[in-house]
Structure 1
Amino acid sequence: MATVDLFAIGNALIDQEFKVSNEFLTQQALQKGTMQLTDGDTQAALYQQLQDTQSYKGQASGGSAANTTVAFGALGGTAFYGCRVGNDDLGAIYLNGLNAAGIQTTTQSISEGVTGTCMVLISPDSERTMHTYLGITAELTAEQIDFEPLKTAKWLYIEGYLSTSDTARVAVKQARELAKAHGVKIALSLSDPAMVQYARQGLEELLDDGVDLLFCNEQEALMFTNTENLDAAIEILKLKNQHIVITQGANGAVIIDPAQQFNVAGRHVDAVDTNGAGDAFAGAFLYAVNAGLNLETAAQLAILISSEVVAQFGPRLAIESYTELFEQFKNAQQECA
């Protein structure tokens, strides 16, 4: 296994995207903008109603950390993804898709069971609401992960959605210990307000004694710290974490490190689908930092990439789009220099 820059662990999910009405979300008792876990039968019933009454937009390989890893790799980094899929057609589609994007995986990820699926519901305001059946990924353990590439990686990336799985948290603990033993920096995303609300203890376990880089959005930051204003939240988050990136949608992001705090302006696009935007932001930011760019430039690149994800349906761009945007970004930077 070749050395990689980024070693990521996360859920493996096939996304089924639908454009839905606000009334449909209300009828299904779904909380807009969050992820809700469900069982296979309940999701199958929802899927049938979606097909009958709403607008189908397509299928895509998803999973938060996987989306981040694809963005990182498409921009020029090397990456490995640890996950668990079923020995079924969707599992093969999932891993083949990652490999086609240049992401390394292992056959250890394949086991008996059903590959997880996520109904991604896009409301008229472009917000994504997710209804997730984790399938076999709910039972992700260290046995499905080849930790060897982690020993020489630059970054370990952990998605907050793993907070709901007892076995996944054990695997993350092992990964964190190995990363620290080999001088690998650790990044983590809080992932979703629902994880903060319903899986807080699991998130705190994933975070443990802190990370080198924490990603969250403003709502997650406030909820996780039990505060009502961002300044108070930042002071609490700084107690454990070296660097913090708080995204604010169209308003950009707040970047915090031990020596400074600053805002980076957002970029206006006609929003279509927010699914995967935070994942793309994290992937581009990690790539830029790993490539030696400063924090402000990293945030500017991340905002460019994530805003383009928002402007289309689906959690990822076409692979060539990442590189095209990066070239445009570098040219614009040179013109401003």
Structure 2
Amino acid sequence: MNKKYDVCAIGNALVDYEIEVEDQFFKENGVEKGLMTLVDEERQGVLLDGVQGKIKKKQGGGSAANTIFGLAEFGGKGYYTCKVANDSDGELYANDLIKAGIDSNLDPNNLHEGTTGKCLVMITPDAERTMNTYLGITTDFSKNELSAEAIKHAKYLFMEGFLVSSPTGLEAMKEAKRIAQENDVKVGLTFSDPSMVKYFNDQMKEVVGDGVDLLFCNIHEAELFAGVEGMEASKEAIQKVAKEFIITKGKDGALVFDGAAYHEIEPFPTKAVDATGAGDMFAGAFLYGITNGQSHADAGKLASAASSAVVSKFGPRLSKNHVEDVMKKIGR
């Protein structure tokens, strides 16, 4: 059966504010470096006041959104389910999806009352990104936003782990997974961030439930989820809950398990400027590859080159020229 979408994704819709800061800013403002921290609107406002003049760019983001944008940049067809408000950030978000050719549940002329979520993506000179997120209206992302039709007509459902921090988001994930499984749609999940596995491990395990078809994580997330240490123990633990999985290793590449064999994915060396969205891009390019006839090893190579390209510039998107460069690097 031909599917309308390669991937139907669900996630928190956030407008990313890309900001360059020094480590001193974290010390002065009590920000924990390298993690995603959920904050309230007042706290985010204080941080925004402290970075005026340092904002490099504003664009629609969120973990699963970045993955769907990555998929689209390589030519895949995606659907994105989310929740934004009828403010300027919400309109920007809805129009970003339309421009990228990504179908969604949003109607730019009929958005919800409220405040669209924002993520302050603070980038230090060592290229590490630290995120402080006010979820805004996406706190109430729920089963009501789901499109059963979009899920049924996709090859993969892809869910971001950040949704487990909200009770309604957790229920939406479980419902989306149920719809997918009942319609022979493969289920993909990303843990998204170590903080989600550390502080919401019970909820994450609820989502994983009887297992998923494809899991994306890094080694730290795998260790936290399974309560183990080291790559070997992590591989063994993740294999019990995911038919296929990818453990990313940053500058050291990634490990891909295709259900039968392991593939070491070599890194593409680059000068890192901004690590924002590296894992999301890896997932997007990988999903594009496996839904468009590539082997897991080849899809891993594409994903490695794509994530390398995205960290060499500011922001989680690739231009047409970047995509062409990636394809040349992998000999396509």
Preserved CA contact (<8 Å) 1:71 1:322 = no
Instruction: Say which SS state the counterpart of residue 115 (structure 2) adopts.
Output: coil
- Structure 1 match to 2:5: 4
Partner of 1:296: 297
User: How do 1:207-246 residues align onto structure 2 when only pairs under 5 Å count?
Assistant: 207-246=208-247
| Alignment partner of 1:61 is 2:60 | yes
1:132-143 equivalence runs, <5 A? 132-143=133-144
1:37 corresponds to: 38
For 2:258 and 2:15, how far apart are their aligned partners in 1?
35
Query: What is aligned with 2:76?
Result: 77
Is residue 89 of structure 2 the alignment partner of residue 93 of structure 1? no
Aligned counterparts of 2:59 and 2:5: Cα–Cα separation in 1: 25
Pairwise CA distance, 1:262 = 2.6
Q: Does 1:281 align with 2:282?
A: yes
**Deviation digits for residues 176-226 of structure 1 (CA, Å, limit 9, x no counterpart):** 111111110011000001111112122112222211110001111112111
Q: Alignment partner of 2:242: what SS?
A: coil
SS at match of 2:215: strand
Deviation at 1:322, TM superposition (A): 5.4
Alignment pair present for 1:201 and 2:230: no
Q: Please say which of residues 104-113 and 150-159 is displaced more in the overlay.
A: 104-113
- SS of the residue corresponding to residue 267 of structure 2 reads coil
Aligned to 1:324: 324
How far, CA to CA, are the matches of 1:110 and 1:236 in structure 2?
42
Determine whether 1:119 maps to 2:157.
no
Corresponding position: 1:191 with 2:192: yes
Opposite residue 276 of structure 1, the aligned amino acid is G
Shift of residue 3, structure 1, vs aligned partner: 2.1
Between the aligned partners of 2:258 and 2:249, the Cα distance in structure 1 is 17
Residues 26-68 of structure 1, C-alpha deviations (whole Å, 9 max, x = no match)? 222222221000111110011001127xx33221211110010
Counterpart CA distance in 1 for 2:218 and 2:294 is 22
Partners of 1:164 and 1:255 in 2: CA distance: 27
Contact 2:36 2:133 in 1 (8 A): yes
Distance 1:278 1:110 in 2: 29
Per the alignment, residue 128 of structure 1 pairs with: 129
| Letter in structure 1 aligned against 2:190 | S
Q: Report the alpha carbon displacement of residue 103 of structure 1 after superposing the two structures with TM.
A: 0.3
State the identity %. Answer: 41
Separation (CA, whole Å) in 2 of partners of 1:97 and 1:181: 32
For 1:221-250, what per-residue CA distance to the aligned partner results, in whole angstroms no more than 9, with x for missing partners? 112111121100110111111011000111
SS in 2 for 1:27: helix
How many residues align? The count is 328
Distance apart, 1:167 and its partner CA:
0.5
Are the counterparts in 2 of residues 305 and 325 from structure 1 also a CA contact under 8 Å?
no
Distance (whole Å) between structure 2 residues aligned to residue 145 and residue 139 of structure 1? 13
TM-score (norm: length of structure 2): 0.95
Listed as ranges, the matches of 1:18-37 within 5 Å are 18-37=19-38
Q: Which residue of 1 aligns with 2:161?
A: 160
How far residue 6 of structure 1 moved from its aligned partner, in angstroms, is 0.8
Between the aligned partners of 1:227 and 1:107, the Cα distance in structure 2 is 41
**TM-superposed deviation, 1:174:** 1.3
CA shift digits 1:59-110 (9 cap, x unpaired): 1211110010011112111111000000111111101101100100123683
**Tell me, which stretches of 5 or more residues in structure 2 are unaligned?**
none
Q: Which moved more, 1:143-152 or 1:179-188?
A: 143-152
What is the CA-CA distance between 1:144 and the residue it aligns to?
A: 2.0
Contact preservation (8 Å) 2:81, 2:145: yes
In 2, Cα distance between equivalents of 1:19 and 1:117 = 16
CA contact (8 A) 1:278 1:306 kept: yes
Who is 2:250 aligned against?
249
Are the equivalent residues in 2 in contact too, given 1:160–1:206 (CA < 8 A)? no
Pairing 1:15–2:16 present: yes
Aligned to 1:309: 310
- Looking at structure 2, the residues matched to 9 and 167 of structure 1 have their Cα atoms a distance apart, in angstroms, of 13
Q: CA deviation at 1:256?
A: 1.6
- Residue deviations 1:249-294 (CA, integer Å, cap 9, x gap): 1110011233212311111111000000100000000010111111
Q: Secondary structure at the match of 2:51?
A: helix
Say whether the 8 Å CA contact 2:17–2:121 is kept in structure 1.
yes
Deviation (angstroms), 1:321 = 3.6
